[in-house]
Amino acid sequence: LDFRTIIAKRRSGEAHEERELRMLAQGAADGSIPDYQLAAWLMAAVLRPLTTQETAWLTVAMAESGQRLDLTGLPQPCLDKHSTGGVGDKTTIVLLPLLAACGVTVVKMSGRGLGITGGTVDKLESVPGFRMDLSPAELLAQASRFGLAITGPTAELAPADRALYALRDATGTVASVPLIVSSILSKKLAGGAKNLVLDVKCGSGGFMPTFDAARELAQALRQTGELCGLKVRVALTDMTQPLGRAVGNALEVEEAFEVLSGEAGGRQRQAAQLQAEGGKPAAGRAASPSDGVEIAREAIARGHALHKAEEWFVAQGASGSRGSWGLPRARLQTEIPLAGEGGWIARLDPRAVGEAAVLLGAGRKTKTDAVLPAAGIECLAEVGDEVRPGHKLFRIHAETEEAAQAAQERLAEAVGVHSERVPPPPLILETF
C-alpha cells in the first residue's frame, strides 16, 4: 500500500477502505508517513469530507494506534463525558462526583485550556496538591475504590490524534466535522468509554458559533459514535454567555463546590443536572431521563454529591476538606459597575469575557504559557437581569493593576443593555 494512492483517492473523492485509514493512523502515530504526505491528505479530507463510515473506521484506527484502557473490571455502569468547551464551563467538576454519588463510575481524561476556553486540568491543578498525572493503573484503582477518577492528557493514548492534531493546527485543517469527530471520539474510545454524554456548545464562547454548525457536529458525533459501538447522548447547549458566575481556575472550583453543596443554583447547576440526566439512561441505570434528573437533584440535596467530591479531591492529593484546601486568592479584587443607563442585560459576550480572563492570566495564549490559578472574573449579572446604574456587573481577580486595567477595558465591550425587558436565553437547545 503506497500512501500516495491514498492521497489521490481522497483528492478525487473515491471511497477509502478500512485498511487505508488504518495505515494512515498507524503511520501518523509511528512517524512512518512523513508530515507533508499527511498534510496533503488532511487538506484533501477537508475539501472532500469523509463519510460517516470512513470517519468511524478512522476513529477506531486512531484509538488503536496506542494504549487502550480497559474499564470492564470496574463497578458498572461506567460513563464518560465530553464538552466541546466554553467560557466558565466547570460542568465536569460538578458532574463527576454527582454521577459517582448516584452509583455511576466515571473515568475521565481532560485537557488543558487554550485561548478563551479553560481546561479542566488547569482548574483542578489550582487546588494545592491535586494530581492530574495519574497513571492508567492509578486511575483504575481509584475509580474502583471511589467511583471516579480523572487525569490529564497522556502521550500513550491515541498518539495518532496527537500527531494529526498538531499538523491540522499548523495547516489550516482543523475545521472539518469528520476530522473533529474522529479526534474527539478516538480519545474517548482509547480511554475505554462505552457510554458517553456529549455537550456541544453553541455560541461565540465555544468552538461552534452557530446553531446549525453545532447541530451538524452533534449529529456527526452521535452517528459516528454509534458506528464505533458507543452509546451516545448529546445535548446542544447555549454558549452565548459564560456558564455560571465564575471564569478562572480556582474561582471555578469554588463555584463547582457551591453547586455541589446546593448553595448555588442557576445555569451551572442546570447544566450538570442535564448531563446527569443524559448519562444515567445511557449507562442503563435510570428508567427514563426524568428519573435521572430527580436522582441527581436528590444527591445534591442530601449532601451525597458534596461528600463524594470531598472524597475525590483527597484521593487525588488535596488535603483537608472544602474551605481548607488553600485555594489561592488573587492579590487584587475590583468590582466593575454598570457605567451607562439601567435596563435589561441583552448581551454578555462570552468571547470578550474569555479574552479578559486570558489578559488576567487565567488562560493561555499559546500552549506553553503558564496560567495564574487565582486570576479570573466573576460575572455578577446574566442576560435577562434587570440592572440599574451602578449595578455591579463583574468582579475582577487580578495579580497586577495593569492586568486588571486591561481586563476592565475588554469587559467594557462585553455588555449590552436594552431599555426593554429581555428574556434569558434557554440553556438547553436540543437533546438527542
CB of 162 to ligand URA, least distance (A): 10
Active site residue 168: yes
Q: Which of 149, 122, 128 is nearest to 138 (CA)?
A: 149
CB of 117 to ligand URA, least distance (A): 10
Contacts of 375 (CB under 8 A, 6+ apart): 248, 249, 330, 357, 360, 361, 362, 397, 398, 399, 403
Q: Which three cell numbers stand for residue 175?
A: 475545521
DSSP secondary structure string, 156-208? TB-HHHHHHHHHHHHHT----HHHHHHHHHHHHHHTT-SEEEEEEEESTTBSB
CB of 186 to ligand URA, least distance (A): 9
CB of 107 to ligand URA, least distance (A): 17
Q: By C-beta, is 174 or 213 nearer to ligand URA?
A: 174
The Cα–Cα gap between 176 and 43 comes to 10
Q: By C-beta, is 183 or 204 nearer to ligand URA?
A: 183
Q: By C-beta, is 128 or 153 nearer to ligand URA?
A: 153
Q: By C-beta, is 112 or 245 nearer to ligand URA?
A: 112
Q: By C-beta, is 24 or 184 nearer to ligand URA?
A: 184
CB of 355 to ligand URA, least distance (A): 19
Q: By C-beta, is 203 or 292 nearer to ligand URA?
A: 203
Catalytic pick among 80, 89, 122, 161: 161
Catalytic pick among 176, 183, 186, 204: 183
DSSP letter assigned to residue 426: P
Cβ-proximal residue to ligand URA, closest one: 183
Active site residue 421: no
Q: Which of 133, 376, 129, 368 is nearest to 249 (CA)?
A: 376
Contact 289, 428 (CB under 8 A): no
β-pair type (78-83, 195-202)? parallel
Catalytic pick among 187, 188, 308, 364: 187
CB of 183 to ligand URA, least distance (A): 3
Active site residue 82: yes
CB of 91 to ligand URA, least distance (A): 16
Residues that bind ligand URA (CB under 6 A): 165, 174, 180, 183-184
Residue with cell 489578559: 359
The Cα–Cα gap between 359 and 144 comes to 40
Q: What share of the chain is helix, strand, coil (3-state, %, to 5)?
A: 45, 15, 40
Active site residue 80: no
Catalytic pick among 82, 162, 280, 308: 82
Q: By C-beta, is 123 or 285 nearer to ligand URA?
A: 123
The terminus-to-terminus CA distance of the chain in angstroms comes to 40
Residue with cell 487502550: 68
DSSP secondary structure string, 13-47? TPPPPHHHHHHHHHHHHHS-S-HHHHHHHHHHHHH
Q: Which of 351, 342, 100 is nearest to 209 (CA)?
A: 351
3 state SS of 95:
helix
The Cα–Cα gap between 321 and 328 comes to 15
Q: By C-beta, is 180 or 299 nearer to ligand URA?
A: 180
3 state SS of 52:
helix
CB of 208 to ligand URA, least distance (A): 10
Q: Give the catalytic positions in this structure.
A: 82, 161, 168, 183, 187
